[in-house]
Structures are given as C-alpha cells and as structure tokens.
Amino acid sequence: MSSPLAQPAPPAALAGASYLVVRAADERYALAGAAVRELARWRAPTPVPGAPALLPGIISQRGVILPVVDLRLLLALPAAPPDRASRLVICHHEPVDLALLVDGVDDLATIEPADLAQPPAGLDPRRARLLGAVARHADRPLAVLDLPALIAAVQEAM
C-alpha cells in the first residue's frame, strides 16, 4: 500500500533532459546528451588539404573516419592551441558523425524544459544561429548548442 504523501515519478517526457557542459574559451555551452556518443582525449587530427580553418582535420575513432570541428572557430572565438584539458566530443545527428574540439568538459547537467529560454536578441548573429536556447546552470549562464544548426554551418563553410 502506498503512502498518501508519496508522489509518483514524473513521466519521462516531462523529466529534464541531460546535457554535456563544455567550454570554449571562457564560455560554457551545452550539447544534448542524446547526441553525444563518447568523449576522447585530444589527439592531433590528420590535416585535410583545402579544408577551412574550423576543420583542422580528420580522425579515426573506432574505425570510423570523423571530421574534427573546432568549436572556438565555429563560434567566432579566438583560436587557441589544444592543451591537456582539450577533448573531442563525438556527436551524432542523422546522418552526420563528427568530433567537436572543445577546451574542456565540465559537467553532465539535467536541465528542465521550463528552465530553457530563447537566446537574447543582441547576440552576434554568427553565434546566435548556432544556439537553441539559454539556461542557467550552477549559477552561471549556459548556451545550449543546436547541433543541426552547427552541422549546417560547418557544411556551409566547406
């Protein structure tokens, strides 16, 4: 017999979604957890002649060839060489797989749908088109990346 004070668990559709919190420069971004396949330590990619700067090369991850996309350059942030904290976030969005180069991985966060808001109107348009929403996490602003828009921007740069 259940207690009259016990509350049923919310349906999965109403529960918050998981996001991987990453860093690019001194800014924090979130990627939908469902799109993240794995994390890998930075390793130098094989350069691709004629590729734009935001695509430093390709890697082989578990037998799959993936383009490496530099999130800093995609967001029009200053370039910086990768260091020990840099990671490759292996992402998937039909039909594309890619390795997103980030300056670091901070957290796995659950964000409730009610906590997501539209990005502010005054953002740089190059960045604003890549954002799906903004939120607060750990009392700091967090920009939620729109992976399909990010992939479209990479394809346009090619």
Q: At residue 116, what is the residue type?
A: L
Distance, in Å, from the CA atom of 57 to the CA atom of 106, rounded to the nearest integer, reads: 25
Tell me the residue range of the domain where 147 lies. 18-157
Give CA torsion, residues 122, 74, 93, 102, to 10 deg: -110
Instruction: Quote the distance between the C-alpha of residue 18 and its chain's center.
Output: 12
Residue 5 lies in a domain: no
CB 101 within 8 A of CB 88: yes
Residue 1 lies in a domain: no
Token pair 């350059």 is found at 73
Dist. CA 17–CA 30, nearest whole Å: 11
Give the number of domains in the chain.
1
Residue 63 and residue 44: Cα distance in Å, rounded?
A: 16
Residue 2 falls inside a structural domain: no
82 is a domain residue: yes
- The answer to the question of residue 135 being in a domain is yes
Question: Does 10 reside within a domain?
Answer: no
Q: Cα(first)–Cα(last) distance of the chain, in Å?
A: 62
CATH code, domain with 137: 2.40.50.180
In tens digits, what is the pLDDT along the chain, a chain of 158 residues?
A: 444 444 343 334 445 799 999 999 999 999 999 999 999 999 999 999 999 999 999 999 999 999 999 999 999 999 999 999 999 999 999 899 999 999 999 999 999 998 999 998 888 888 899 999 999 888 888 999 999 999 999 999 88
Say if 43 falls within a structural domain: yes
Distance (Å, whole) CA 54 – CA 151 = 12
> Per-residue pLDDT tens for 90-115?
999 989 999 999 999 999 999 999 89
The per-residue pLDDT for 71 is 97
With respect to residue 13, please indicate whether it lies within any of the assigned structural domains: no
Give the 3-state secondary structure of 45-92: CECCCCCCCCCCEEEEECCEEEEEEEHHHHCCCCCCCCCCCCEEEEEE
Amino acid symbol at 15: A
Tell me if 76 sits within 8 A of 126, measured CB to CB. Answer: yes
Reported as a single tens digit per residue, the pLDDT across 70-88 is 999 999 999 999 999 999 9
pTM for the complete prediction?
Answer: 0.85
